[in-house]
A = this chain, B = another copy of it.
Amino acid sequence: MTESKVPDIIIGRMPMYLRALTRMAEEGKTITSSQELGTRLGLSSAQIRKDLSQFGEFGKQGTGYNIDFLAEQIRRILKVDGLWEVALIGIGHLGTAIANYGGFVDRGFQVAALFDNQPDIIGKQIGRLTVQPMQTMVEEIRHKKIRIAMITVPAKVAQQVADACIEAGVRSILCFAPTSITTPKGVRVEYSDPVLHLQRMTYYLQS
């Protein structure tokens, strides 16, 4: 009966809180407050307390929040206290940069398989991984029980690659191609398109 669903918009802010807490810990801090977190993130302290209260009581009146403790709770809530294997499809410039990126593992993710369909890219070695041909993708994702894919292919083929990923069992897709893709219920998509962010800012610039 207290089973009310946490709003998506709050789930969307939790990773920001986790990131800020991680930075604070790196800076050697051990305690923070909703006020301090809010200032860092440009949010009100009330909003941060309200958001966190959706999941439990993590603070102490008069003192604030223990940074390590709160970070650990948020990791547990978001289920990033383990390590998710992620498939990466499209090993061009961007895909290569992502495959080489060292910042995934300590935030809960590991690139576990690379795919492309270009003959000159297949077989390429990146770290401990070898780029595999697209034809093997569905079987490989299914076999490894991978649930998350990052798609860095051209916009034109993003939908069909996404479809294949979903067929193979993927349930979360991070799409880097500048296009929207449609997915059946139960499959989430998020988009990472830097140009979208740039275009959001030019409106406010005086040309």
B205 touches A79 (CB 8 A): yes
Q: A40-B180, A86-B198 are in contact. Are A93 and B104 (CB under 8 A)?
A: no
CA distance A33 to B198 in the complex (A): 26
> How close is A131's CB to chain B, nearest CB, in angstroms?
16
- Chain B residue nearest to A175 (CB atoms) is B197
> How close is A15's CB to chain B, nearest CB, in angstroms?
4
B202 touches A108 (CB 8 A): yes
Q: Which of A183-207 contact B (CB under 8 A)?
A: 188, 190-205, 207
B195 touches A103 (CB 8 A): yes
Query: A123 in the interface, Cβ–Cβ < 8 Å?
Result: no
B98 touches A96 (CB 8 A): no
Q: A77-B203, A97-B96, A203-B78 are in contact. Are A198 and B174 (CB under 8 A)?
A: yes
- Pick from A16-24, A63-71, A114-122, A133-141 the stretch touching chain B: A16-24
B194 touches A98 (CB 8 A): yes
B14 touches A199 (CB 8 A): yes
Q: Which residues of B contact A84 (CB under 8 A)?
A: 198, 202, 205
A199 touches B18 (CB 8 A): yes
Q: Which of A166-190 contact B (CB under 8 A)?
A: 171-172, 174, 176, 178-180, 182, 188, 190
A174 touches B199 (CB 8 A): no
Query: A28 in the interface, Cβ–Cβ < 8 Å?
Result: no
Q: Which residues of B contact A201 (CB under 8 A)?
A: 148, 172, 174, 188, 190
CA distance A174 to B42 in the complex (A): 16
A199 touches B107 (CB 8 A): yes
Q: Return the contact of A93 from the options B40, B97, B176 (Cβ within 8 A).
A: B97
CA distance A48 to B195 in the complex (A): 21
